[in-house]
């Protein structure tokens, strides 16, 4: 093995250990959906590409901007003169009827069966969250905080704070699992510690997280199942 490979391996182990330490200190988990438990990048990109074309916008820029945000907020911010309700409905319809390419990310099942009190905290609508979980073959936990349930989406901490309340813990006792920079900001603003996944962004964009990992599978293999 090369010196560089050894260095990369050591770095990955250190980051996994850091993630395990964050997880080990948590009483509950607040878990993002898209990009964390589920890969939905294909239908998300198709929906936002269609939106971008309707409004003469760059599809790549729109897709990047939309990650982690409720679709209604993305529509309002990127197409201020549009019929926001109609456009949000178009995007919602496109995403809820398109599950081609949706699949569970490695370790997603282990997270949901880990024994931790857990809430999914997503910028999806409740309907879309259910569609994605079913398409990925994942169980729906009792607590799912969706965009329908809050006034302000990520990066505002409202959704994570609500998730913690529903689990009857303070956010400071929770670990947030996230893939997006605005989700990381929301988790930290809520007072939680944040473990970021490299599923959709590079390390520079994830630098505000307390730990950065490659895979939930590796994290939960290291941490094991918790008895509650």
Given 32, 39, 185, 210, the catalytic residue: 32
Tokens of 226: 């918790």
Given 8, 34, 179, 204, the catalytic residue: 34
Whether 32 is a known active-site residue: answer yes
Whether 34 is a known active-site residue: answer yes
- Cα 79 to Cα 50, 144, 221, distances in angstroms: 13, 29, 44
The Cα 162–Cα 20 span in angstroms is 25
Half-sphere exposure of 222 (CA within 13 A, CB side): 20
Task: Cis check for the bond before 46: say yes or no (omega within 30 of 0).
Answer: no
Radius of gyration from C-alpha coordinates of the chain: 17
**CA-wise closest residue to 187 among 149, 21, 195:** 195
Catalytically active residues, by annotation: 32, 34
């Amino acid at each position: 093995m090369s010196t560089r490979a050894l260095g990369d391996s050591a770095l990955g182990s250190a980051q996994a250990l850091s993630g395990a330490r964050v997880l080990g200190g948590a009483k509950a988990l607040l878990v993002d959906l898209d990009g964390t438990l589920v890969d939905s990048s294909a239908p998300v990109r198709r929906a936002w590409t269609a939106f971008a074309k309707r409004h003469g916008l760059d599809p790549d820029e729109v897709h990047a901007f939309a990650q982690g945000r409720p679709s209604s907020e993305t529509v309002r911010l990127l197409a201020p003169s549009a019929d926001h309700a109609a456009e949000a409905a178009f995007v919602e319809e496109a995403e809820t009827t398109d599950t081609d390419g949706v699949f569970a990310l490695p370790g997603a099942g282990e997270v949901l069966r880990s024994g931790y009190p857990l809430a999914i905290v997503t910028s999806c609508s409740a309907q879309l969250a259910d569609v994605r979980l079913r398409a990925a073959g994942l169980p729906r936990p009792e607590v799912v905080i969706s965009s329908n349930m809050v006034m302000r989406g990520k990066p505002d901490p409202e959704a994570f704070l609500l998730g913690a309340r529903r689990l009857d813990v303070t956010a400071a006792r929770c670990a947030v699992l996230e893939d997006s920079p605005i989700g990381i900001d929301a988790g930290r603003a809520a007072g939680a510690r944040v473990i970021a996944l490299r599923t959709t962004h590079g390390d520079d964009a994830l630098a505000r997280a307390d730990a950065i990992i490659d895979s939930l599978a590796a994290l939960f293999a290291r941490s094991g199942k918790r008895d509650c």
